Structure 1
Amino acid sequence: MAENKLQHYVPKCHLRPFASGEAVNLYNIGSGRLIEGAPIKGQCARNYFYGKDGGIERALQDIEGAYATAVAKAAENPSTINAGDFAVLREFALLQTFRTYGHVEKLMALAERQYADIKQAAAGRAIPLGLPESIEQVVFMSIRHFLEMREHVQDLEHCLIVNQSRLRFITSDDPAIHTNRYHIQKLRHDSFGFSSAGAMLFLPLTPTLAFLAFDPNVYVIPDRRGAVATVKRDSEVSAINELQILHARQNIYYGDAATGEIVEADFRRLSGGRPTVWTELMYFEKTGETEEGAKYDRVQSMNLDGRGDYMTFVQMAHVQPSQWPGLIRYRLRPRVVHTGTGAGTVRPDHPVLRGVGIPRPSFPL
């Protein structure tokens, strides 16, 4: 149907709380300009992004409707949000990490790089692997990945952040931020996933409200009342907004003109911290056997002559802010499980432990 041609990867229901009517202000990264009153209809959308049959788009509308209802409820009275509402916010935030054009671009670049590497390693021999034929195929793969990851975030704790500072929250065309302070700051590396110990998931909901899902085995929010934490210091909001500045693809969205001026200045100050490479492919060749299993060493490239055994490891870049929100702090004794496998350091009692054959810890959570 012609009216469904333009399909949004960040839905209008997310942008409207930051807008005035059907117009929203934005900072365009490419031009370095503030643009006032841009139509919401044209933001974060591409023609037939989910395909022409409308199946995926219709399925997503149910999630978007539930999200809009939960946000309206939270905006009216944050203390009324219940477990069901938080489940909706968590699933929407998770979905947004997979459905944006920015994420799809990263996957397409990764596929192109891997295909080129395999083609070179095959030395002219025919290979069965091909590139995705359309963005629609990559989007479908991303939605499937979202469905697979839902159980991996169900153990995260939830919090609404009420902003009573002088600053306002902002959002972007890639607004759901999956990060991990524990891995980045304590373990000194940024290779982590949704099952990792210390996982955090931020999503701005309105200029005065944000959602946070976090690993309760690693972090605490001391000043929280129920599931609501109030921030009054500008520095808290700046730290959360920095995640949007570092992660946005093309546009950062904001409410009032004063916020736009701050966004413009902050982007110039912080843009050097934006990742320049979002995906990395690493290859490992089998070099022997040990009592623990096969031994693999990293190599620069593969040689597909039939004599080597290789594994491929994909690492996605994560934004690393210059400051972290002070409202969330480390536990005195974080509870984590070091698997010694590719799963890395994960949360206790997490489903991923079943896949790596490690017994779940017996200490109380």
Structure 2
Amino acid sequence: MTTEKKNQHYIPKFYLRYFAYKGREQIGIHNTQSGYTFSTAKLKKQGSKNFFYGNDGVIEEHLGKLESKLALVIKRIRDNHLLPKKNSKDYVTLLHFIALTHLRNPVAMQQELDANKQKREKVAELYPYHETKQLIPEITNIEAISASLLSVSYLVRNLLDLECKILINKTKKGFITSDLPVVRYNQFLEERKWPHGKSGFGKIGLQIFIPLSHELCLILYDSAIYKVGNRKEERIVIDDVNDIDQLNMLQFTNCFQTVFFSDKVTEDYIQYLKRRSVPYQKANIVNSTTKRAFVNGDVAKEKIIILSTITDNQIKLNTKAIKVHAQGKKKVLSTSLAQYRAWPEFLNKNKDQMLKEVLNL
């Protein structure tokens, strides 16, 4: 059967309305690939694709039910500028909103597809006389987005140790958002010039930014590393334009191809942000490489491993509101390629049990 809901949103419609105006029916858009900017686009056509979640409507219907719960919690945060108590039911719902918004979009799907394609290409190079599809089957668009969505519960568990605060914009330049509004960053590992992955959900020094309107932005962060405003303050006022510029640039370097903005943001400001973000690499690009591994140091038992990595957001973030605190500066990194926080490291050691819970086995 084919669902009647042809236009399926990968960015929750209730979320995009936070940046809309004129009866919440219009929104500003800028396409980073074509350079096209239009400040009065129709909201209902944004952040969506025809049958993005498939023709049967199963995933679309499930996500629609979840959105009604997510929307209530996010609305209360926006209206009252108050966060739910940590680890409360509403707080966990907030984390689900962040995880789902991060995963249910073309970027997540494209990452799955690119990783699959690159692995198949590497296998074809290494084993030219084998049928590649037998070793690594090709996946479809629906399989890619389904695989991405399977990790929601595990991601939420990884976020439970992070602190959360609200950034309140008091400048004349509003926050913008994008078709991938959840930005992962790691100021700490970037400053340490860490050469490996920096923005995984379990990494030391992780920061997550997600704007909720032209004047509000959530930040989740590793409190063992950072100080965000005063320790006891839940709401942090930002009155420095340069801080807002930097946080907005992250939407340009993070997005798939579109940034969104309200009537509080001018087209000239969008062009300014685009120019400032040009020198920095695009985040979320998949790169696959082959590595040689040796079993117990035995060359005769060497194995080929295909590693897929994703480019990090790196714009040399340096704001007045967010700083590495004294204890963070003293943090000694391990020799491991993956620098985990304590809680995600515990989860990783027990990942088999966690996976069974996620898959309800």
Instruction: Report the TM-score when normalising by structure 1.
Output: 0.85
In the TM superposition, what whole-angstrom CA distance separates every residue of 1:43-99 from its partner, at most 9, and x where no partner exists? 121222112332222222243223322232222221364434443332212222222
Q: What is the distance in 1 between the residues matched to 2:32 and 2:186?
A: 25
- Distance apart, 1:2 and its partner CA: 4.4
User: CA 1:353 to 1:57, structure 2 compared with 1: closer, same or farther past 3 Å?
Assistant: closer
Name the residue aligned to 2:354.
none
**1:160 corresponds to 2:166:** yes
Q: Matches of residues 1-365 of structure 1 in structure 2 within 5 Å?
A: 2-20=3-21, 21-79=24-82, 81-83=84-86, 84=88, 85-127=90-132, 128-192=134-198, 193-223=200-230, 225-256=232-263, 258-275=265-282, 278-287=285-294, 289=296, 308-334=302-328, 338=333, 340-342=335-337, 344-352=338-346, 355=349
* Secondary structure class of the residue paired with 1:46: strand
User: CA 1:201 to 1:288, structure 2 compared with 1: closer, same or farther past 3 Å?
Assistant: same
Query: Is the CA contact (8 Å cut-off) linking 2:283 and 2:313 kept in structure 1?
Result: no
Query: Is the CA contact (8 Å cut-off) linking 1:195 and 1:352 kept in structure 2?
Result: no
Name the residue aligned to 1:301.
none
Q: What is the distance in 1 between the residues matched to 2:196 and 2:27?
A: 34
- Distance apart, 1:353 and its partner CA: 6.4
Query: Is the CA contact (8 Å cut-off) linking 1:222 and 1:327 kept in structure 2?
Result: yes
Unaligned 5+ runs, structure 1: 297-305, 358-365
- Distance apart, 1:308 and its partner CA: 4.1
- Distance apart, 1:200 and its partner CA: 0.9
Letter in 1 for 2:287: E
- Distance apart, 1:338 and its partner CA: 4.7
In the TM superposition, what whole-angstrom CA distance separates every residue of 1:268-324 from its partner, at most 9, and x where no partner exists? 2322314288112122213463xxxx589xxxxxxxxx9641222221111111433
Q: What is the distance in 2 between the residues matched to 1:123 and 1:80?
A: 55
User: CA 1:3 to 1:41, structure 2 compared with 1: closer, same or farther past 3 Å?
Assistant: farther
Query: Is the CA contact (8 Å cut-off) linking 2:39 and 2:263 kept in structure 1?
Result: no
Letter in 2 for 1:118: V
In the TM superposition, what whole-angstrom CA distance separates every residue of 1:153-196 from its partner, at most 9, and x where no partner exists? 11111111111111100001111111111111124335131111
Unaligned 5+ runs, structure 2: 352-361
Of all paired residues, the percent bearing the same amino acid is 21
User: CA 1:354 to 1:47, structure 2 compared with 1: closer, same or farther past 3 Å?
Assistant: closer
* Secondary structure class of the residue paired with 2:253: helix
Query: Is the CA contact (8 Å cut-off) linking 2:111 and 2:285 kept in structure 1?
Result: yes
Counting matched residue pairs gives 343
Query: Is the CA contact (8 Å cut-off) linking 1:97 and 1:178 kept in structure 2?
Result: no
- Distance apart, 1:130 and its partner CA: 4.1
RMSD: 2.6
User: CA 1:107 to 1:2, structure 2 compared with 1: closer, same or farther past 3 Å?
Assistant: closer
* Secondary structure class of the residue paired with 2:293: strand
- Distance apart, 1:260 and its partner CA: 2.6
In the TM superposition, what whole-angstrom CA distance separates every residue of 1:125-151 from its partner, at most 9, and x where no partner exists? 234134434210000000012232221
Name the residue aligned to 2:359.
none
Name the residue aligned to 1:362.
none
Letter in 1 for 2:319: P
User: CA 1:213 to 1:230, structure 2 compared with 1: closer, same or farther past 3 Å?
Assistant: same
Letter in 2 for 1:19: A
* Secondary structure class of the residue paired with 1:68: helix
User: CA 1:307 to 1:346, structure 2 compared with 1: closer, same or farther past 3 Å?
Assistant: closer
